[in-house]
Amino acid sequence: MRLEGKNALITGASRGIGRGCAIEMAQEGANIAINYRSHPDEAEEVAGLVRSAGRKALLLKADVADREAVEDMVRKTADEFGSLDLFVSNAAYSDRELMVDADLDNFKRTIDVTMWGAFYGVRAAARQMIKQGAGGAMAVISSPHAVLAIPTSMAYNMAKAAIDHMARTASLELAQHRIRVNTVHPGWIDTPGERKFFSDEQIESEGRKLPFNRLGRPDEIGKGVVYMLSDDAAYMTGATLSIDGAVSLPWWSNRADGEM
């Protein structure tokens, strides 16, 4: 129970990696505020799983691109649970188009959710934790896209690169308050959001080409986040934890199918 007695807010927690984090953190003892923008039935399901682990759950519908809505979520979490001790910035948006053909409204939406949404959450959570005076910990879910220039993902690449640097800067600014800020780089994770770009058949086929011959799972990211937020990582801040199945390494990318 490495997070026992802690109160957490997770953005984008109704599905995918956010869901995985919520379940793993609840099993380790944390009460969970579950942010979602759509998919209310799935958010309710996550809340049920949190409660079945013996923890409190709070559902918070909000668009993280709205600064005031994010600040209100932080207030509601602290009011309901008594404090905000842990924050996971996970919500993201992405479209995949070549830069020269991109719908600029969608391009901007990617930046607004993925970059500004993360900043609004980190800032609001930090202000609450500073006010409480008891320290805290944050995990920012970023991506290998922060360092790999993936074609058709320019806006997402830009946003993830920005939040990596944001998290490192925040870790220095908040160290005096005993607030730790670290970043996670998940690899290709099997989430509902991937079905926006790929069919089940494509995901299965492409997954076999990865170094571990499969996509990662949301619970695997959740377990890494639990470590990062727990006292086991008490001397860890401004760091990046890669849980990517080696997809960011170059050695495998040009190998023939079936060969090491």
Give me the catalytic one of 143, 153, 171, 230: 143
Give rounded-to-5 percent helix, strand, coil for the chain: 50, 15, 35
Give me the catalytic one of 36, 93, 120, 156: 156
Which structure tokens are listed for 37?
């923008």
Residue 156 appears among annotated catalytic residues: yes
Residue spans of alpha helices (H) in the chain? 16-27, 40-52, 67-81, 104-111, 117-132, 154-174, 200-207, 218-229
Phi and psi torsions of 215, nearest 5°: -75, 160
Which structure tokens are listed for 9?
């807010």
Residue 160 appears among annotated catalytic residues: yes
Give me the catalytic one of 6, 14, 36, 160: 160
Which structure tokens are listed for 194?
């991937």
Measuring CA to CA, how many Å separate 158 from each of 147, 217, 257? Answer: 9, 25, 31
List of residues 6+ apart from 152 with CB closer than 8 A: 96, 97, 98
Residue type, 259: E
Q: Which residues are catalytic?
A: 143, 156, 160
